[in-house]
Amino acid sequence: MAKLFFPSTLFRAVIPVTAALLLLNACGKSDDGTDNNGNSTDEFKKEMLVNYADNIIQPGYVQLKTSLADLKTKVAVLLSAPSASTQANVKPSFQAAYQAFEAVSLPYFGPAAAQMLNNTLNTFPPGISKIESGIASGNYDLTLPITSDSLQGFPALDYLIFGEGAVDKLADPVSGQNRKQYINDVLERMQLLTDNTINQWAAGYRNTFINSLKTDVGSSIGFLINQLAFEMDALKGPRIGWPFGKQSNGIVFADKAEGYYSAISKELAVANLNAVKQYYTGGSAKGIDDYLDLLGKTTLNDDVLAQFTVAINALQAIPAPLSAAFTGSPATVEAAYKEIQKLLTLLKTDVASATGVQINYMDNDGD
Amino acid sequence: MRLNGMLALVSGALLTLSSCSSDDGPVTPDYTVPATYDFAQVNNTDAVARVSMWAGFTSWLGKGASRELNSDTANYLWNNTNTAFTAEIAGNLPYKYDALNTMTISLATEVADATQFKAYADSMVNLSEFYATPAAPGIAGKIGNRLVNHSGLEFNQAVAKGLMGALVLKNVYQLLDKVPTDDNTLTSGAPSEMQQDWDLAFGYIGVPKNYDTAFNYSTAPVPADRPLAIGGYFGERGKYIQAGGRVFEAFRTGRAAIGAKDYSTRDQAISTIKEYTEKTLAAAAYYYLTASQTQSDLAAKFHSLSEGYGFVLALKYRAAGSKLTATQYTRLKEILETPFYDLAADANNTDLKEAAQIFTTAYGQLQP
């Protein structure tokens, strides 16, 4: 992620607290009872967190696991007999698995962060020259943390299975063997980290997650709201804005989009934003939206919900594939970009402020 | 307009605070405390210049993340020899590179545990050859835009933040501890020994004479006499505890009190300064040890942990009788000496939560 920093956000949050503290402490009394625990919203918060853990996050990882298993079966058929038809046969499973990942991209904290799941599964664009040299030499280590170019995950599969001449390269009797091995290694690592994440949630993190009822840094609600903002930043930046040329004076880099080779960038973006909305609403049960209502911020909640609808519609209005729309239909991309920006501001500034959560996921330290 | 309003609110509250704390009836001082550190005959060049050297040296070390550093340059900057300071690293400071290069003072002589901190700096220099190769557990190199050692630590952070204790706290406390026994014969020609030591202590704090806690010093054009080192952290991580306003006011009050030989006010100022400089470092450490729990990007996470590590190093130089006990401090160091990859691999952040809790137990709430 690029450096993203909005000083006004932090500033707004600090002023009222500072003033209030001074009034409270004017006669040098030490503050007691500022702990967020033990207040009347605890029961609600706990039910909300149980809903997130049991109905959204953990089932989301299980869905990813199932989809990856299906993908592996389809890929095995492709690898045993590379052809246009076995390749086409992989695509629906690839898209389903990638979309299943979009549904768990948001809870990148706790077990997923400890496994570096997102970093491994979806750092894009893929580092093509490194992937090719790894395949050629047979010398690569997928356990190293990804620092810049990604060797693995969905972006690598996207390139290796759907890139130009992919079928021919797989069919090559000599170099094809290494390539097949590489694809299998990538898939196995994706499955391993997904399994580890599922197991860590079940083994104890669920309990930690649902019992963290504060909103301070490192709390479950703090994580959720930070990640709502983070995903919106990622949608505005790497998923849409950067390939669209927002960081390059309007010069389009379509091949840097997520899922470029399989041409599913738009579907992934829509799946991502739908997932963000689900994490905001908590599905049909208690979520951040209800929490805002409970805090008396109903107008803000209404605004956010309305903006989700506007932004999702604007994304849907882009003609597929997104990579072609960057140059073929820039006005629709621009419109979606603007609505995403508005939603980002609402979540990162207004919702964070209303819930008393500090946004601090980014590496914004200037020193 | 909004900022001014806030400033007024803050000052008003501070006045209330001080009036409440003097229960023995109103004191009528026969001197006034100026709004800025504007006293006659202030000469604290050595202290202010050392903070400028700190800024230049640590800025140079930071370059190790993008190019190979030369070990001779490290020695020259540390000892201030061979006109080592350049416009690139010390171009916009209270004392700029050309002024620093002509001075006979250096960092080397005034830093506590100088050998250790120089070794950290040398380690950064040694690792800088890996500025373009990726890091991995057990292997030094680059993660994002950060250069880390085999366990994920940025050595330049250990130096930059550690020196806020080993250079700043150490000298400020040493001077303030000496002040009560200093000669305070007031003559018109020169400051008294006590005034001189007080001014030097203020110089190490790294804030300008007209320090304004409400001013955003990072707005371009960035002023040369912006807050540096611990002074910079008053604004960066010490806002919630109101450190900047309290320390600055205590320095002005104490200096005025010395001029009027009002020693009880001076001693109150000393204790405020000690309390809030230490607490600033604690608040910064606390911030980074909690922020790192939220960060999933390793570059951001390791940077936060490195900052935390540096601030914990700095707290070694806290005043005697600190709220942070020796046992608590040992545990903090132990936690931060865990390889950062291991800290990152714990989904529950157990150790980092424990570290944050140690801070809260010792100092109370440090951040909003």
Three-class secondary structure of residue B123 per DSSP: helix
Cα distance from A301 to chain B (closest Cα, Å)? 24
pLDDT of residue A311 exceeding 70, the answer is yes
Percent of chain B, pLDDT > 70?
92
pLDDT of residue B229 exceeding 90, the answer is yes
How does residue A135 score in pLDDT terms, banded at 50, 70 and 90? very high
Amino acid present at A343: L
Residue A150: what pLDDT? Answer: 87
Domain shared by A53 and A160, yes or no? yes
pLDDT of residue B8 exceeding 80, the answer is no
Q: Is residue A232 part of a domain?
A: yes
Looking at beta carbons, which residues of chain A come within 8 Å of B300? 361-363
Q: Which of B249, B268, B163, B257 lies closest to B211, judged by CA?
A: B249
Please check whether residue A224 is in contact with residue A112, taking contact to mean a CB–CB distance below 8 angstroms.
no
Q: Let me know the angle formed at the C-alpha of A107 by A104 and A112, rounded to the nearest 5 degrees.
A: 90
> Distance between CA atoms of B114 and B166, rounded to whole angstroms?
8
- How does pLDDT run across B166-200, given as a tens digit for each residue? 999 999 999 999 999 999 998 888 899 999 999 99
> Distance between CA atoms of B4 and A208, rounded to whole angstroms?
44
Residues A14, B240: C-beta atoms closer than 8 Å:
yes
Please check whether residue B365 is in contact with residue A31, taking contact to mean a CB–CB distance below 8 angstroms.
yes
Domain shared by A235 and A286, yes or no? yes
Residue A277: what pLDDT? Answer: 98
Q: Which of A314, A292, A295, A313 lies closest to A304, judged by CA?
A: A292
Which among A160, A195, A212 is the end of a domain? A212
Q: Let me know the angle formed at the C-alpha of A243 by A242 and A245, rounded to the nearest 5 degrees.
A: 65
Exposure string (b/e) for A138-147, b if CB count within 10 Å is 16 or more?
Answer: eebebebbbb
Parent domain of A204: 41-212
Domain shared by A181 and A226, yes or no? no
> Distance between CA atoms of B205 and B224, rounded to whole angstroms?
15
Please check whether residue B205 is in contact with residue B247, taking contact to mean a CB–CB distance below 8 angstroms.
yes
Domain shared by A191 and A301, yes or no? no
Residue A64: what pLDDT? Answer: 98
pLDDT of residue A4 exceeding 90, the answer is no
> Distance between CA atoms of B234 and B59, rounded to whole angstroms?
19
Domain shared by A147 and A224, yes or no? no
Looking at beta carbons, which residues of chain A come within 8 Å of B159? none
Q: Is residue A8 part of a domain?
A: no
Domain shared by A66 and A171, yes or no? yes
> Distance between CA atoms of B70 and B64, rounded to whole angstroms?
9
- Closest CB from B62, B134, B346 relative to A114: B346
Percent of chain A, pLDDT > 90?
81
Interface test with B, best of A108, A223, A365 (most B CBs within 10 A): A365
Residues A22, B242: C-beta atoms closer than 8 Å:
yes
Please check whether residue A156 is in contact with residue A34, taking contact to mean a CB–CB distance below 8 angstroms.
no
CB pairs under 8 A between A and B: 130
Percent of chain B, pLDDT > 90?
86
Task: Give, as one character, the DSSP assignment of residue B186.
Answer: -
Q: Is residue A16 part of a domain?
A: no
- How does pLDDT run across A98-120, given as a tens digit for each residue? 999 999 999 999 999 999 999 99
Q: Is residue A20 part of a domain?
A: no
pLDDT of residue B36 exceeding 90, the answer is yes
Low-confidence winner among A33-37, A72-76, A279-283, B111-115 (lowest mean pLDDT):
A33-37
In Å, how far from its chain's centre is CA A226? 12
Cα distance from B183 to chain A (closest Cα, Å)? 33
Domain shared by A249 and A127, yes or no? no
Low-confidence winner among A28-32, A85-89, B117-121, B279-283 (lowest mean pLDDT):
A28-32
Mean pLDDT of B281-300: 94
- Closest CB from B294, B303, B344 relative to A114: B344
Domain shared by A148 and A270, yes or no? no
Q: Is residue A140 part of a domain?
A: yes
ipTM of the complex: 0.71
- Closest CB from A13, A34, A361 relative to B295: A361
Which among A187, A212, A237 is the end of a domain? A212
pLDDT of residue A19 exceeding 90, the answer is no
Q: Is residue A22 part of a domain?
A: no
Percent of chain A, pLDDT > 70?
87
Domain shared by A254 and A154, yes or no? no
Q: What CATH number does the domain containing A349 carry? A: 1.20.1420.20
Q: At B51, which helix (H) or strand (E)? A: helix B45-62
Residues B160, A367: C-beta atoms closer than 8 Å:
yes
Please check whether residue A221 is in contact with residue A232, taking contact to mean a CB–CB distance below 8 angstroms.
no
- How does pLDDT run across B51-101, given as a tens digit for each residue? 999 999 999 999 999 999 999 999 999 999 999 999 999 999 999 999 999
Output helix, strand, coil percentages for chain B, rounded to the nearest 5: 60, 0, 35
Six token digits for residue B279: 């607490």
Domain shared by A88 and A168, yes or no? yes
Cα distance from B10 to chain A (closest Cα, Å)? 7
Domain shared by A175 and A236, yes or no? no
Looking at beta carbons, which residues of chain A come within 8 Å of B349? 218
Q: Is residue A141 part of a domain?
A: yes
DSSP output for A29-55: PPP-S--STTSTTHHHHHHHHHHIIII
- How does pLDDT run across A234-286, given as a tens digit for each residue? 999 999 999 999 999 999 999 999 999 999 999 999 999 999 999 999 999 99
What is the total count of domains within chain A? 2
Cβ neighbours of B131 (radius 10 Å) = 16
pLDDT of residue B15 exceeding 60, the answer is no
Domain shared by A245 and A347, yes or no? yes
Q: Where are the domains of chain B?
A: 39-363
Task: Give, as one character, the DSSP assignment of residue B317.
Answer: G
Residue B214: what pLDDT? Answer: 93
Q: Is residue A35 part of a domain?
A: no
- Closest CB from B20, B62, B293 relative to A27: B20
Which among A179, A212, A245 is the end of a domain? A212
